[in-house]
Structure 1
Amino acid sequence: MNKEVQAQENGVQNDIHGRIDQGAERVKQATSDAVATSKEKFERAADHVEERVHHATDKAAHAANRATDKVSEATERGRAAYDQARDRADEWLDEVREYVREKPVQAVGIALGAGWLLGRILRR
């Protein structure tokens, strides 16, 4: 009987060992499946993030290029306005010089009157 009991115990142990091994295999398979699924999800998420970052970078570069173009245009317009104002000032100065050459006494009188008036205005 002892041998029979021991044989039964060995059989039960083998059965338990088999079940444990099967359970371990199921856990390993489930873990592998979960890891594979997680890897796929993370890869998709990473691809999505990468795509969005590239899209945002392209938009930022486009906006920066547009801003640079606008600044260049504004600079050119400013330069043209400056040149035009300088030309007008040079023309006006030439006219004033010509007037002073033609009528020096009147020019001095106008200058004295303007200086006196400016002094009165600034004194207050």
Structure 2
Amino acid sequence: MTHSDDAANKMKRDAQAAASEAKNDLREGTGRVGDDVRRTARDLGDNAGIDRLKERGADLAETGREYANRAREAGEEYAERAREEANRLYETGQRKANEVAHYAEERYDEVSEMVRRHPAQALGIAAGVGFLVGLILARR
């Protein structure tokens, strides 16, 4: 169980790091956009300013596409890690469930055999347990 907790914590830290990196990238991109807008506003006084504005708009669109691609790739990477961890945990759970089922079958067989060998004792124990459960439930 500790291994799965460690893996989950590692995935959580990785996701937080990716989110922080994306936040920093967006902050940096926003700063560039602000700088470009200020430059463009200064340049609008001349005719070349319109051409520069178009160029900057194309640059900004390309930067936006790059950020979107980075985010998509990071999302795909973390989704794949999550799928792999989920599969590993599922397989571990299946193994443990099979072990518990086998253990329960063995204990059931032992109890059944004991009841067959000592039916009066088993009946007395069952009556005693029933009486105790009745007392507990009656007090509620």
TM-score by length of 2: 0.61
**Match of 1:25?**
none
* 1:71 corresponds to 2:70: no
After TM superposition, list the pairs within 5 Å mapping 1:49-64 onto structure 2: 49-64=64-79
TM-superposition CA deviations, 1:57-87 (whole Å, max 9, x none) = 1011111111112221221222222211111
d(CA) in 1 for partners of 2:110 and 2:122? 12
After TM superposition, list the pairs within 5 Å mapping 1:81-96 onto structure 2: 81-96=96-111
**Match of 2:112?**
97
Unaligned runs of 5+ in 2: 1-45
Pairwise CA RMSD: 1.4
Q: How many residues align?
A: 94
TM-superposition CA deviations, 1:66-119 (whole Å, max 9, x none) = 111222122122222221111111111111001011111111111111111211
Unaligned runs of 5+ in 1: 1-29
d(CA) in 2 for partners of 1:67 and 1:99? 47
Structure with larger RCO (C-alpha < 8 A, sep 6+) = 2
Percentage of pairs with the same residue? 33
Residue 46 of structure 1 aligns to a residue whose secondary structure is helix
Larger Rg: 1
**Match of 1:48?**
63
Counterpart code for 2:119: P
| Over 2 Å off, 4+ runs | 33-36
Counterpart code for 2:65: E
**Match of 1:111?**
126
Offset, 1:121? 1.6
